[in-house]
Structure 1
Amino acid sequence: MLKKILLVSLSVVLLLVLAASGGSYYMVHRALPTIEGEIITSVDKPVRIVRDQYGVPHLYAETEKDLFFAQGYVQAQDRMFQLELSRRNIGGNLAEIMGEKMIKLDHFNRTIGFRRAAEEGMSKVNPETMKALQAFADGVNAYLEDHADSLPVEYTMLGFKPEPWTPLDSLSIGKYMAWELGTNMRTELFMGVALPKLDEDKLLSLLYQYDQVHPTIVKQSEMEKAIEVSEEERPKVALSKETVDSILVALDLADQKALPGEGLGSNNWVISGKKTESGKPLLANDMHLGLSAPSTFYQNHLVLPGKYNVTGAIFPGVPGVIVGHNDKVAWGFTNLAPDVQDLFIEKPNPANPHQFEYDGKWYDAKVIQEEIKVKGQAEPVKAEIVISRHGPIITNMLDSYVSKDQEPAQTIRTAEEVTQPLALRWTAHDTTDEITAMLGFDKANNYKEFEAAMKLFQAPAQNVVYADVEGNIAYHAMGSVPIRAKGDGLSPVPGWTSEYEWTGYIAWDELPHAINPEKGYFASANNKPVDGDYPYHLSYDYDLPYRATRIGQMIEEKDKLNLEDMERMQTDWLNLQAKQHGPVFISALQAADLTETEQKAFEVLKAWLSNPLDEPDLAGPVVYHAMYIKMYTRFFEPHLTEEFFYHFNRTAMPNYGLEVILRDSNPKWFQGTDDSKEKAIVDSFKQAVAWMAEEHGKNPDKWKWGKVHTFSLSHPLGSIKPLNLLYNIGPYEYGGSNGTVGMAGFSRGKPFNIVLGAPWRFVVDMNDVNGAKDALTMGASAQLGSDHYQDQTEMWLEGRYKTMHFTSADVEANGERTLILQPE
């Protein structure tokens, strides 16, 4: 939705500006930064910035202040407009440059309070970290000052100048990423409206339960401490349809994925030296996020003798390296996916909507009056944000929802108009200090130092794998995971009583963890982190076990593995979910009455299921995935009605529900009805064949997965012709799917264009950290006209990697441009 609104607002502006300027060439190329020679700026001592053949900056400084100043400077050189859109989106200031269509998104982001939470926690940030943040901001601002008349072309299009960057801008990015990786609110909303009205046993049967044959990252027996906790109790409270609908509109508006409710994931694994050719650990990480232009990640290498020598990736706008390696240790993340959000139903005082009941007494809420500046309007839009003891009231973000096909109006409701206030309790609203943790990772020399840094990282909660040059490997779940007095976080709870409060967070040594396991490796793919004996509730939102299972298979296939094996594993397209359910599909379809085209499609599917690779030149994946898309609707809509299916389909539950039903010989979902799993499979198959025949012809042998499953990277300005020719990448035929280790995820709402994958892949052998490799979906620069705008795309598509260059000698040998920042 954000991209759509940006396109409408900006495309006409760009065309007018380009026409007035006589063309784009001059505007684009005058904004390209100086990456060679010398620049006089606010550093204390000279800083060398060596750009390698892919434009990746390697920064050599003599002071910590200068190091982070230079990092801010190069990020601004390469990604300034990305930084600009990021901070305006997160802070709720897009309407100021984009106009009235952004008011609702701005109100949403201010209500959730990413920037507010970061600001409230600034006083608790480590003082040394604040110095790094300020130095980083100073570097960004030095670039802005130096290039006041040659900013990226997008500033000219929009007709505004950027404000100075601040440490708060950087801190806010961390809060926003916690939101992207830690939301289960949609499931709570659905359960709140559906559980009181539908068959509870049937609904709960759709929650996927890991059994003992599925891989977990560790076993409780590998942990050092036994744990016991009390049983959970789920409350029974009802939400109105109007309440749920109003919030879903807001969530849909802010959601960057093609269909809300489809989560983000990642892969990481670390292998002990006893299973590697080099005798030292191997580590691999590819974090799965939305795919767009420019890339979500920025590659850089930071060197300060005696303190930092670290390389890897970072979110643009943030100092340091979030994932990568230094000369002693390496690490990687996947999303732990814990339930870190709860919805509390507040009971307002009829005489004062800014008071809420709690344990029999009325308590004042915090009220913030916001003013949203709007381009083209003389007066700002005023918005009231109400914050209870549990968090912001989210039911006044938008007006009542009228129709799922209708654009909501621009009215913002006040507290008096909210009939069922819902407050959001969320771990990232707490005071946290993730950047101190990240800088601790960057300079850690051993696991003890690395673990000390992990303890500071609260949100988003992650699965961390670790390796070091001494041969140690480790896994630890990291972040705040709430302990509830009652309930399991699956549905909204009463906010007027203390019975359902969070009583604290799972202690560090009680989170899943282990060091140097007997089996010789750890692997995580958003699967359940610890086995059934673990007593704390972590989540209902683990990914299905197929990626984790496949990673384990590939590790076990060879006695000794090397770095090339890691690369091959990250781009593996074997679909274990299809292999699991193939016999069920074949059994149902063999007994069905099929047309000639359907019979041909069945033969294609049956042959493919013997070795289900999601390769782009195969027809089998087309039949399989089209059938799966149809199954989501056919299995659930007839039994939920259109009203509840709309809510259901905006959660991750359809993924889990299908898995449960397909695995069960007598699924509870169909019991007591005249429907069946077999009938639903046949109907879905027939619908899928008709769909594909209409779009790709009646000969299933000629259907090709790569023709329908395409990889594109769209810039916020690039979906309107002819801007797509300037900004966008693709489309390219590509393999993989949502369930393969080589992630190429598509939305069940808008198949089959790829919207989810690994913007950055990373592998390292601790025997030779100088030989670590990575690949980015695009390139180092977001500047049109740069040689490094998309120079890694082809490599990424082909599953190839570049050397990251780590030692000074290697960087010098492969450096193509050197810029010296000189003191004034």
Structure 2
Amino acid sequence: MRFIPLILTIALVAALHTRWANKPAFGMLFSPQHGFWQHAEPVGLHDDQHLNFPTLKGRSEVWLDERMVPHIFAEQESDAYFIQGYLHARDRLWQMELQTMAAAGRLCEILGPGMLDYDRRQRRIGMVYAAEQTVKEMEKDTATNMQADAYTAGINAYIRSLRPRDYPLEYKLLGYGPEPWNKLKTALLLKYMSYDLAYNNNDLEYTNARHLFSKADFDRMYPDFTDSLDPIIPQGTAFPPPAAPAIPPPDSLLAAAYHFAPDHPDPDNGSNNWAVAGSKTRSGAPIICNDPHLGLSLPSLWYEMQIHTPNMNVYGVSLPGAPGIIIGFNDHMGWAVTNGSEDVLDYYSMQFRNGKEEYLFNGAYRKADLRLEKIKIRGGKTFVDTVAYTVWGPVMYDDSYKGPGFLSVRWKAHDASNELLTFNRLNHARNYEDYLEAIATYTCPAQNFIYAGKDGNIGIWHNGQYPKRWKDQGKFVMPGADSTFAWQGYIPFEENPHIYNPAEGFVSSANQHPTDSTYPYHMIGEYDLFRGKRINQQLRGMHGITPEDMMKLQNDNTNLFAVTAIPLIMDHLDPVNFKTDAQRKCMQWLFAWDGEANPDSEAATVFNMLWEELENQVWTDDLVRDSLALKIPQSKTMLLWLLRDTAMHFVDNIHTPEKETLSQLVQRSFDSVAQRISHMGNNVALGTARGTDIRHLTRSIPAFSRMGLPTGGGQHIVNATKKTHGPSWRMVVELGTETKAYGIYPGGQSGNPGSAFYDNMVDDWVDGKYYSLNIYDQQSQPAHLRGKIFFEPGE
């Protein structure tokens, strides 16, 4: 019997070091010497560190402030990027590698065969191909080549210092280890952002809809411009005529029935940004503000830091995996970005023969470039996918992947570009002219770049390389055998929508349409409306503005969409139909509501559920047909249409003999919501019924997540917080003689769940609080540092 404990111990050790059904081996995870308890970090002060690396050219220091934000002071700029890479890897290595593996379609290597469809999609989008083109452009430019090389060297220096026991916890949990970094991984991260922000397209859905509905109905369902327009560039701005407008070929709408829809990023991936001139502020200095709206996760997308060299002193947030500061400010100016929301991706229907060998183009067959995508699968055989490249780009869909037929994709993100150069120049910019030189190099994803400087100037450019298209080009699948359907160049940079020092004293964007209909080029996209209107309404009425006023506006919970919609709803509800307590209670909440979507608002929950149900009542019978890929019109489109015409014919259900009215649909929707509310008990308030979940990047470890956060805000609201999506970084900067800056993001600097700085900012973010951003000068050391790291040349 005394041998039984020994046998059980041996069996347990063997089991923990064995993979079962493609699950990771847990021996490393639970090992006392190497496992998860090695990752607990002290909360107090850190002893100073002295690190030596032969690639460094000078002496550098890193100061770690009370939130563990690093402040880099380097004599040589290349050393600063080496240190940035080292620090990113030290705090976020697993996140960096996971994001680039996701971009490259390599998740099967660590997660098994369940990710095969995802990996195939990423390969067929051409993510690695696009990143390869970016690396070539990075290497052509002296500044970005130095930046990427030094940054890569810093990451690899940290990786080489690790023993298996030191690996971030997720590596142990999943049973693998880090691999060396390279510039392709940085390029993949940048292209992943392009996917997240510039993969907006509805070509398949719109092609199906155009065959089902008349052109008049189609244009009403998916309009280029809406009522109540409040564009980025004010209405009435005079635009010069285009030098060379796009010329359409003869109409040739393809007959098609697409029974699958491409995967789409979150349609609310966007942001708010604005800048107010000194004429509107209490201090007389411009104030610039930004809050990008993206998926929320732990570790956070962003990493805060200051980089100080003899030629640059810049502060803001960086992307772990890429050098430099992406959103921020320096000693002279600040910049802020929001998504342009344009569709820069088109599908072309191809005719192939001999399998994937040849395709028809301009009357002759051409050889396709065949790219073998070898997808390694953990616990299984490597899957080889053959992707054909045409003059347009990769064949995304064919008979082996969601076909039938062949659809090639033309995506702006595939073109050679160097996004790193734009941000490198912004980090160094001193004035508006430098800012223009920086953004002129930017191509994709389309962004609204705001400038505010200590020179007192403000401006905004709706910026990127936009295809020159004829009206409606890009909405539908086009014939790929005819070159006349190609983009006809790009809108010249100087003709991109922009405004400088406007009379109103502010510039702003919130993913709304960039211009009114007088702009001479055709841009297509899915634009917001009500966030921008609310921001502009508030800024127009504000004077003597302070940073605190801007913080309040970033956290504004007024649902202008709901304020517009509720009178319409009330007109079509008859209290005589309210038979239950739940119905009467819901009506009472809506009637008394001021439109503020605060965490304690029951009315906000009722309205959100009611509008969603009403949309389903209006559109489901028309847009759910034999599994066809179709798209429900945007909420703003339906609301504005119903305000114009309550008898719009889509209100009628085509599957019933009677002719439904809007009053019937509103009442049915209300009754359905009231019944659901009756089962929710005391959990109706927005912060409880919806709340916000900030999930760990694996999406499957609640202990590493922050779930059920009591948040307000939502879609159409300046505070665009949703269930798993929202303001990923809030920044307010007053650019006076002394810069005063404030910011917060929902996470922490560390990617280690065992660190006190993993999620230390989350609760304050929920409460709408901000931290002062410490802009240190090496000549005056602050009193409250957690530690210093000294980097010096040498072995």
State whether TM-score is above 0.5: yes
Output the amino acid matched with 2:123. Answer: R
Contact 1:631 1:684 in 2 (8 A): yes
1:652/1:467 Cα in 2 relative to 1: closer, same or farther (>3 Å)? farther
- Whether the 8 Å CA contact 1:717–1:724 is kept in 2: the answer is no
- Determine helix, strand or coil for the equivalent of 2:729: strand
Question: Which residue identity does 1:794 align to in structure 2?
Answer: D
Indicate whether 1:127 and 2:142 are aligned.
yes
CA contact (8 A) 1:59 1:67 kept: yes
One of 342, 347, 362 as aligned partner of 2:365 = 362
Q: 1:469 to 1:373 in 2, by over 3 A?
A: same
Q: Does 1:372 align with 2:375?
A: yes
For residue 92 of structure 1, what is the aligned residue in structure 2?
Answer: 105
The AA in structure 1 aligned to 2:693 is S
- 2:229 touches 2:516 (CA, 8 Å); kept in 1? no
Question: In the TM superposition, what whole-angstrom CA distance separates every residue of 1:511-562 from its partner, at most 9, and x where no partner exists?
Answer: 100110011111110011112211211124111x211111112212322101
TM-superposed CA distance for 1:419, in Å, is 3.8
Tell me the residue number matched to 1:820: 790
**Structure 1 residue 179, shift from structure 2 partner:** 1.1
- Structure 1 residue 213: Cα displacement: 4.0
- Cα distance change, pair 64–707 in 1 and its aligned pair in 2 (3 A): same
Q: Distance in 2 between matches of 1:643 and 1:814?
A: 65
**Residue type matched to 2:406 in 1?**
P
Q: Secondary structure at the match of 1:195?
A: helix
Match of 1:406 in 2: none
1:236 to 253, 257, 261: 253
So what's the TM-score if we normalise by structure 2?
Answer: 0.91
Q: Does 1:183 align with 2:199?
A: yes
Question: Aligned letter for 1:104?
Answer: D
CA drift at 1:63: 0.8
Give the corresponding residue for 2:675.
Answer: 690
Tell me the amino acid that sits aligned with residue 64 of structure 1: E
| Equivalent residue runs for 1:440-459 within 5 Å | 440-459=425-444
Supply the distance in 2 between the matched residues of 1:680 and 1:715 (Cα, whole angstroms): 40
**1:463 alignment counterpart:** 448
In 2, distance between residues paired with 1:281 and 1:65?
A: 32
CA gap of 1:717–1:671, structure 2 versus 1, over 3 A, is: closer
Aligned residue in 2 for 1:784: 753
Q: Which range is displaced more, 116-125 or 518-527?
A: 116-125
1:71 corresponds to 2:84: yes
Q: How far apart, in 2, do the equivalents of 1:139 and 1:798 lie?
A: 36
Residue 478 in 1 paired to residue 489 in 2?
Answer: no
Alignment-mate amino acid for residue 344 of structure 2: V
Counterpart residue type for residue 470 of structure 1: D
Amino acid at match of 2:694: L
Measured in 1, the distance between the counterparts of 2:24 and 2:240 equals 61
2: CA distance, partners of 1:592 / 1:614: 28
Please tell me whether residue 630 in structure 1 is matched to residue 613 in structure 2.
Answer: yes
Where do 1:74-473 residues align within 5 Å?
74-125=87-138, 126-149=141-164, 150-185=166-201, 187-208=202-223, 210-211=225-226, 213-219=228-234, 222=237, 225-227=240-242, 229=245, 235-241=252-258, 244-245=259-260, 248=262, 251=263, 257=266, 262-305=267-310, 307-349=311-353, 351=354, 353-377=356-380, 379-396=381-398, 399-400=401-402, 419-473=404-458
Query: Do the aligned partners of residues 623 and 771 (structure 1) sit closer, same or farther apart at CA in structure 2, a change above 3 Å counting?
Result: same
Q: Which amino acid aligns with 1:393?
A: V
Per-residue CA deviations over 1:672-727 (Å, capped at 9, x if unaligned) read 76133332222111111112212337xxxx732222021221113463xxx422x1
Max radius of gyration: which structure? 2
Question: Contact 1:365–1:387 (CA<8 Å) still a contact in 2?
Answer: yes
- Could you tell me which amino acid in structure 2 is paired with residue 432 of structure 1? S
Instruction: Specify which structure has the higher proportion of helix.
Output: 1
Q: Contact 2:247/2:470 (CA < 8 Å) preserved in 1? A: no
- Give the deviation of 1:639 after TM superposition: 2.3
Aligned to 1:586: 570
| In structure 1, C-alpha distance between the alignment counterparts of 2:322 and 2:733, rounded to whole Å | 23
**For residues 282 and 744 of structure 1, what CA distance do their matches in structure 2 show?**
23
Whether 1:763 and 2:726 are equivalent positions in the alignment is no
- Cα drift, residue 481 of structure 1: 0.7
1:603 and 1:30 map into 2 onto residues whose CA distance is 52
Assess if the C-alpha contact under 8 Å between 1:178 and 1:460 holds in 2.
Answer: yes
Identity, % of aligned pairs? 26
TM-score where L is the length of structure 1: 0.88
- What is residue 26 of structure 1 aligned with on the other side? 37
Kindly state the Cα deviation for residue 596 of structure 1 after the two structures are TM-superposed. 2.3
User: Counterparts of 2:47 and 2:153 in 1: how far apart (Å)?
Assistant: 18
Q: Shift in Å at residue 641 of structure 1? A: 3.4
1:807 is aligned to 2:776 = yes
Asked if 1 retains the 8 angstrom alpha-carbon contact of 2:398 and 2:404, the reply is no
Name the CA shift for 1:49/1:155 in 2 (closer, same or farther; >3 Å): same
Structure 1 residue 612 corresponds to structure 2 residue 581: no
The aligned amino acid for 2:692 is F
**CA deviation after TM superposition for structure 1 residue 313, in Å:** 1.0
Question: Aligned partners of 1:14, 1:556: CA distance in 2, in Å?
Answer: 60
CA 1:372–1:664: 2 relative to 1, 3 Å: same
Q: 1:680 & 1:96 partners in 2: Cα distance?
A: 49
Residues 580/129 of structure 1: CA separation in 2 closer, same or farther (3 Å cut) = same
Partner of 2:645: 665
- Partner Cα separation in structure 2 for residue 9 and residue 389 of structure 1: 45
Give 1:230 deviation, angstroms.
Answer: 5.4
For residue 161 of structure 1, what is the amino acid of its counterpart?
G
Q: CA deviation at 1:96?
A: 1.6
Cα distance 1:662–1:35, how it changes in 2: closer, same or farther (>3 A)?
farther
Counterpart residue identity of residue 191, structure 1: Y
C-alpha deviations, 1:784-811, integer Å up to 9, x for none?
Answer: 2212101111111111111111131676
Secondary structure of residue in 2 paired with 1:714: strand
- How much does 1:652 deviate? 6.5
Contact 1:359–1:497, Cα closer than 8 Å, also in 2 = yes
**8 Å Cα contact 1:112/1:394 also seen in 2:** yes
Q: 1:494 Cα deviation (Å)?
A: 0.8
1:735 matched residue in structure 2? 712
Contact 2:512 2:532 in 1 (8 A): yes
How far 1:769 moved relative to its partner?
5.4
Task: Write the distance in 2 (CA, Å) between the matches of 1:443 and 1:688.
Answer: 54
| Aligned counterparts of 1:675 and 1:590: Cα–Cα separation in 2 | 16
User: For the residues of structure 2 that align with 1:199 and 1:223, how far apart are their CA atoms?
Assistant: 33
SS of alignment partner, residue 720 of structure 2: coil
Equivalent residue letter for 1:803: S
Question: Equivalents in 1 of 2:586, 2:666: separation in Å?
Answer: 12
1:485-525 deviation per Cα after TM superposition (whole angstroms, max 9, x unaligned)? 57421111111112211011111111100110011111110
Deviation at 1:602, TM superposition (A): 4.3
String of CA shifts for 1:295-345, please: whole Å, max 9, x gaps: 11111111111x211011122100001110000010101111112011111
Shift of 1:184: 2.5
Contact 1:357/1:363 (8 A) holds in 2: yes
Q: Which structure 1 segments of 5+ residues have no match? A: 1-7, 401-417, 746-753
Match in the other structure for 2:696:
715
1:414 corresponds to: none
Give the gaps of 5 or more residues in structure 2: 1-18
- Distance of aligned partners of 1:775 and 1:591 in 2 relative to their CA distance in 1, 3 Å threshold: same
Deviation, structure 1 residue 154: 1.6
User: Do the aligned partners of residues 724 and 555 (structure 1) sit closer, same or farther apart at CA in structure 2, a change above 3 Å counting?
Assistant: same
Supply the distance in 2 between the matched residues of 1:519 and 1:67 (Cα, whole angstroms).
40
Report if the CA contact (8 A) 2:61-2:790 is conserved.
yes
Q: 1:98 to 1:606 in 2, by over 3 A?
A: closer
Q: Secondary structure at the match of 2:386?
A: strand
Letter in 2 for 1:732: L
Query: In 1, distance between residues paired with 2:212 and 2:111?
Result: 42
Aligned length: 763
CA deviation profile, 1:651-685 (whole Å, cap 9, x unmatched):
57343442343322245443776133332222111
Q: 1:130-168: per-residue Cα shift (whole Å, max 9, x none)?
A: 111010000000001112341212222333222110111
User: What letter matches 2:360 in structure 1?
Assistant: E
